[in-house]
Amino acid sequence: MMDWTDRHCRFFHRLLTQRAMLYTEMVTTGALLHGDVARHLRYNPQEHPLALQLGGSEAADLAHCARLGEAWGYDEINLNCGCPSERVQRGAFGACLMAEPQLVADGVKAMCDAVSIPVTVKHRIGIDRAESYAFVRDFVGTVSEAGCNVFIVHARNAWLKGLSPKENREIPPLRYPIVHQLKAEFPHLTIVVNGGLTSTGQVQQQLEHVDGVMLGREAYHKPWGLASWDTTFWNDPVSHQSREQIELQMCDYMAQQALLHATPWSGIARHMLGLRHGLPGARVWRQVWSDHRLRALSPHTVMEQAHAAVSRTAAQAHA
């Protein structure tokens, strides 16, 4: 979810669900050690509960960055051992770390010793074409002994050579029973499944076997589904917020960010383009919000134009 789940995206998602844990895009230890810490760690207070996802492999560096995350107020530190991109592999972190469980364990222990908030790990069920359950079982067993109690498991292997990150989300087969087997073998651990889930029904089915479910791109492209989560999964009262009310709150936020940080609304609005997915006029609505020629207008004016475009489209359809 690099370049996707930034703080603006997370603010939008938090308007839809108050309960779900939100995760940052992966931040490398190098970026925090040598870059602009505030730029990478700044977030909106409304985003809690919020986890900082780190990419790295050196125990001392991970511990330092975990301390930064705790100092900035994050609720959890998550170590990425699942990203298959070649750029990440060259940095010796991501999915290739699954081949070195003791190295991961050393990093996890260093972080657990450094902070009082939970340290969790996100990983795949295997790497390349080896499909041995023993591989992921031993990885989880070794890392759990270092103090990690929560494992977020993408139910696909990561093929480290020959596939793009996009292909790695589609070509290696989904094998949910492997994740279910992990939960059965490690009942004391929190096992969260990720990968390929596209409906509330599928999520509910998975929750019969594991402790939680993580959604990524599905939640991004069809965000309105998140609006029912608090009621469905936490038995909260039904929210009566409409899509238009969410959109208006985003306009207020965009106007605020323009004043505080000179952030163009277009860089924020891109995250809510799926809000009207499946509704009549959604395409023309997206086109207006994506029109960079309107950047000089206020977001509230752009919203008015987007809704006017939807109304015109509906009128033409019934003419």
The residue extents of the domains of the chain are 7-234, 243-317
d(CA 168, CA 160): 9
Q: Which of 158, 305, 277 is nearest to 219 (CA)?
A: 277
d(CA 214, CA 203): 9
What pLDDT does residue 83 have? 78
Above 90 in pLDDT, residue 1? no
The set of catalytic residues is: 83
The CATH homologous superfamily to which domain 7-234 belongs is Aldolase class I (3.20.20.70)
Above 80 in pLDDT, residue 69? yes
What pLDDT does residue 3 have? 75
Reported as type and span, the H/E element at residue 192 is: strand 190-194
Strand partners, 51: 23, 76
Above 60 in pLDDT, residue 91? no
Other C-beta atoms closer than 10 Å to the C-beta of 313 total 15
Q: Please list, in sequence order, all residues whose beta carbon lies within 8 angstroms of the beta carbon of residue 235, skipping any fewer than 6 positions away.
A: none
Q: Which of 271, 84, 274 is nearest to 169 (CA)?
A: 84
Above 70 in pLDDT, residue 12? yes
Residue with tokens 């079982």, as numbered in its chain: 137
pLDDT digits (tens, 9 = 90+) for 106-152: 999 999 999 999 999 999 999 888 889 999 999 999 999 999 999 99
Q: Report, as an integer, the average pLDDT of 15-29.
A: 96
Quote the mean pLDDT of the chain.
93
Above 70 in pLDDT, residue 86? no
Q: Does domain 243-317 have CATH number 1.20.120?
A: yes
Q: Report, as an integer, the average pLDDT of 50-56.
A: 97
Q: Which of 43, 41, 40, 36 is nearest to 13 (CA)?
A: 43
CB-neighbour burial class of residue 240 (10 A; exposed 0-12, middle 13-18, buried 19+): exposed
Above 70 in pLDDT, residue 303? yes
pTM: 0.93
% of the chain with per-residue pLDDT over 90 = 85
Report the alpha-carbon angle 73-195-155, nearest 5.
105
Above 60 in pLDDT, residue 87? no
Above 80 in pLDDT, residue 319? no
Q: Which of 11, 6, 49 is nearest to 254 (CA)?
A: 11
- DSSP letter at 2 equals T
What pLDDT does residue 4 have? 81
Above 80 in pLDDT, residue 306? yes
